[in-house]
Amino acid sequence: MTTLDLRAGERIVVKVGSSSISGERRGQIEPLVDGLARLHREGQVILVSSGAISTGMPYLGLDARPADLPMQQAAAAVGQNVLMNRYQRSLTRHEVVAAQILLTASDMDMDSHRVNARNALERLLELRMLPIVNENDTVATHEIRFGDNDRLAALVARLVGADRLILLSDIASLRTAPPDEPGSEPIEHVPYGDPLDGVRLGASGSHIGSGGAMTKVDAARLAADAGVRVTVTATPLLERLIGGERLGTEFEPNPDARR
């Protein structure tokens, strides 16, 4: 499996999924923040965090992710505030200040919005803040969404010229087939341009999140095309990954990308 092999001064984008930080797994925010704080000390880090809708759901009396857009927007409006508060309270232990950035897919499509987003992120990193990016669910529509925050994270990594993208969820690594099938094996390394022939990837098994193995592969390829090295692993493994253990699935970056 891969080892992170961090270098001083690296710029890293970390993405965490809804199912990793909400509900019964809400307690994973603290160890996640411990890892982020370590990356912040040694370089620059941006967190792309899902979880606004899932965090807001209990406050609206919802047991499952709502299907209608207005209720999703209501849950996001409540949950985004609560989620950022949880992150900041945990980051305060490390004397780190978070900065909230909310984006829509159209922001990445419009040159002026994209440039403004990049400039804001660059300045926040210069000021030693820790940007936390999420999709602006309260104004996004079904027609103009990123679809999942794996893609958003890849676009952010490209936008800021990140060295690495770490996609965290509830899976330790990508596999050649669903884990309950005979012969399923973990995928440790994906060379750039590898089509992953014979690999069967599934959708999300969570009633909370919207991503799955396929979205992570698509996002990894999007980032790798721009020269970003990508690691896919489980949220609880972040600190061990940072510590140099060989974990997860690594996608090699495009060696010809202009950085």
Query: Cβ neighbours of residue 253 under 8 Å, at least 6 residues apart?
Result: 192, 223, 224, 226, 227, 228, 229, 230
Give the separation between CA 25 and CA 240, rounded to whole angstroms. 18
Has 19 been labeled as part of a binding site?
no
- CA distances, 137 to each of 99, 125, 155, 197, 203 (Å): 17, 24, 17, 35, 21
Residue 216 assigned as binding residue? no
173 is in an annotated binding site: no
Query: How many angstroms separate the Cα of 252 from the Cα of each of 14, 158, 177?
Result: 17, 15, 21
112: annotated binding-site residue? no
The DSSP 8-state label assigned to residue 189 in this structure reads: E
Is 210 annotated as a binding-site member? no
CA 101 to CA 13: how far, in whole Å? 14
Q: What is the DSSP secondary-structure string of 11-62?
A: EEEEEE-HHHHSGGGGGGHHHHHHHHHHHHHHSEEEEEE--HHHHHGGGGT-
Please state whether beta strands 189-190 and 164-169 pair in parallel, antiparallel, or not at all (unpaired).
Answer: unpaired
| Cβ(86)–Cβ(119) below 8 Å | no
Cα(95)–Cα(73) distance, integer angstroms: 32
With contact defined as beta carbons under 8 Å apart, do 140 and 72 qualify? no
The label of the residue with tokens 């199912």 reads 19
User: Annotated binding site for substrate, which residues?
Assistant: 50, 137, 149
User: Annotated binding site, which residues?
Assistant: 15, 50, 137, 149, 169-170
User: Annotated binding site for ATP, which residues?
Assistant: 15, 169-170
